[in-house]
Homo-oligomer: A and B are copies of this chain.
Amino acid sequence: MSERRRSAVALSSRAHAFSVEALIGTNKKRKLRDWEDKGLDLSMESLSPSGQLGEDEDPTPCLDLHPDSEQSTGSDTEVLAERTSCSFGSHSDLTSGGSGPQPPPPSSMEEIQVELQCADLWKRFHDIGTEMIITKAGRRMFPAMRVKITGLDPHQQYYIAMDIVPVDNKRYRYVYHSSKWMVAGNADSPVPPRVYIHPDSLASGDTWMRQVVSFDKLKLTNNELDDQGHIILHSMHKYQPRVHVIRKDFSSDLSPTKPVPAGDGVKTFSFPETVFTTVTAYQNQQITRLKIDRNPFAKGFRDSGRNSSWLDSCLH
């Protein structure tokens, strides 16, 4: 084995004809393309001798390469406009669905669609009752929000941002013997608003649409005095993540510490299966198990000893 180094090498076995995708880094750490759309219209494609694209594969689907994955039981992505999505705020209007050729200046937001990645994984958590740990230092979400965006104007510049809003005005507690979340009173007083502006931001529609837009670096905290720019939430409350597409010319009020502005240049999307309850320690053991099973960073807690021992014994 020990293919770790190999897969990071320029001419690895995965490199088909110097895939531009490998260069651009659909979702990898490479920031090379970062500056590209930020005021300049430069192309990295000159780096590719073949100029060939290989956009079909997503190098890190759900941060979840678990072999037992049941993703084959259905589509692992989900188009917003088709089934699960609804829009919050007053920005989005899917009601005017038709593509009437009446282009509002500078470019229409109406045809924009946002598709949740790893929808199957989200649904498995949702069926149990998704929990997200929040800590003083900030904790990533698992699963992370990952979306594909279509219908953008390729030459228009956009910010993509995410925030998390309360689902209701209640505080919850987990009742162990019934394995259910119960209302435990009214919500705590509101926390300072925070918006996570995607780090690739200010990029062209073309760039956004080429890649899976991942929010895996976003962190949640319960520290109301947080100075790291993390999203502040109350523990034991229910929240809904939202994704915002913001046209550049409409971003004058955009700030990580102010609510996302509303209006024609902003379109907001959310996915009901991404609702979660904040905790400081997991309540439902099924959630713990699924997290350990799917989050690569928790691999140390997988008791592959127990799970695979009977399988191992079959193979001997």
Contacts and interface: CB of A to CB of B under 8 A. Distances in A.
Contacts of A254: 40, 42
24 contacts: A5-B137, A10-B137, A10-B225, A11-B136, A11-B223, A15-B227, A18-B227, A20-B227, A23-B229, A30-B228, A32-B199, A35-B201, A39-B39, A39-B248, A40-B202, A40-B252, A40-B254, A42-B255, A43-B255, A44-B256, A47-B227, A47-B229, A47-B257, A49-B227
A23 B228 contact: yes
Interface of A: 5, 8-11, 15, 18-20, 22-23, 30-32, 34-35, 38-40, 42-44, 46-49, 136-138, 157, 159, 197-199, 201-202, 217, 221, 223, 225-230, 248, 251-252, 254-258
Contact of A227 (B23, B31, B40, B136): B23
Contacts of A15: 227
B229 A30 contact: yes
Contact of A10 (B20, B136, B157): B136
Nearest to A138: B10
B32 A229 contact: yes
Q: Is the interface of A mostly helix, strand, loop or mixed?
A: loop
Which one of A9, A47, A223 has the highest number of Cβ atoms from chain B below 10 Å of its Cβ? A47
B221 A10 contact: yes
B10 A159 contact: no
Contacts of A47: 226-227, 229, 256-257
A229 to B, nearest CB: 4
Which one of A18, A39, A197 has the highest number of Cβ atoms from chain B below 10 Å of its Cβ? A39
A252 B41 CA distance: 8
Given A44-B229, A227-B47, A228-B10, A256 B137 contact: no
Contact of A159 (B22, B35, B48): B35
Nearest to A196: B32
Given A31-B199, A40-B254, 8 more contacts: A23-B229, A32-B199, A32-B256, A38-B202, A42-B256, A44-B229, A47-B229, A47-B256
Nearest to A23: B227
A226 B30 CA distance: 14
Contacts of A229: 23, 30, 32, 44, 47
A286 to B, nearest CB: 28
A227 B221 CA distance: 39
Contacts of A137: 5, 8-10
